[in-house]
Chains A and B, each alone.
Chain A
Amino acid sequence: GENVEQHPSTLSVQEGDSAVIKCTYSDSASNYFPWYKQELGKGPQLIIDIRSNVGEKKDQRIAVTLNKTAKHFSLHITETQPEDSAVYFCAARPLKYNDYKLSFGAGTTVTVRA
């Protein structure tokens, strides 16, 4: 099955700086890579996703890059703000009929210092 590794496990940044989280995956059949943000006491919220036919996607201060050859993808948050403090999870899913489960990384706790 798919194995997703996520680094770092914790990340502390000064407000206004950038934050980068990196993930690797094992299953070359994976073609969909979402990122979720989870705040304390809440369920994961989708913040951005990318599919294998795209190398980069950007949405305001958030961007994701994908390198299928190396099997890794990254989340970039620019101009960080205190409300960006949360746990971030990467995930991967293969393009297989009847197999649409997401495999998650272990998460990155991001703290933005004011």
Chain B
Amino acid sequence: DAGVTQSPTHLIKTRGQHVTLRCSPISGHKSVSWYQQVLGQGPQFIFQYYEKEERGRGNFPDRFSARQFPNYSSELNVNALLLGDSALYLCASSSWGATDTQYFGPGTRLTVL
């Protein structure tokens, strides 16, 4: 079975631009979470979606938004990019519930110049 897939793998943008990152979860998983991982740090939670609804949001500005589609894939959007948005953006797939395990994709490396 395919694991979590993310696209693109790398992306270079300039300040002020916007970006859309995409994620496809493991087949059968209905929940997708997004994390930001700055170089040298652990992942930081951004959003969690289940059944197309936002179920959790981390401490990120409104420039960050996301959505989940009927096929459970997801998009993360970031507007008005700042240099500090440069990071590895990780998508995690899981079934829903307190005992579920989150499986991560390879990430999208975003560089903001």
Contacts and interface: CB of A to CB of B under 8 A. Distances in A.
Interface of A: 4, 6, 31-32, 34, 36, 41-46, 49, 51, 89, 91, 95-107
A48 to B, nearest CB: 11
Interface string B38-59: 0011111100100000011010
A106 B37 CA distance: 10
B101 A89 contact: no
B55 A98 contact: yes
Interface stretch (B11-19, B73-81, B104-112): B104-112
A104 B44 contact: yes
Contacts of A32: 98-99
A104 B43 contact: yes
A98 to B, nearest CB: 5
A95 B98 CA distance: 6
Contact of A100 (B35, B42, B48, B106): B48
B101 A46 contact: yes
Interface of B: 4, 31, 33, 35, 40-45, 48, 55-56, 58, 90, 92, 94, 96-107
Contacts of B92: 102
A99 B42 CA distance: 19
A23 B106 CA distance: 25
Nearest to B104: A43
Contacts of A43: 4, 90, 104-107
A29 B94 CA distance: 21
Nearest to A103: B45
Contact of A106 (B42, B94, B107): B42
A89 B40 CA distance: 11
Contacts of B100: 100
B92 to A, nearest CB: 8
Contacts of A106: 40-42
A15 B96 CA distance: 40
Given A32-B99, A34-B101, A43-B107, A102 B41 contact: no
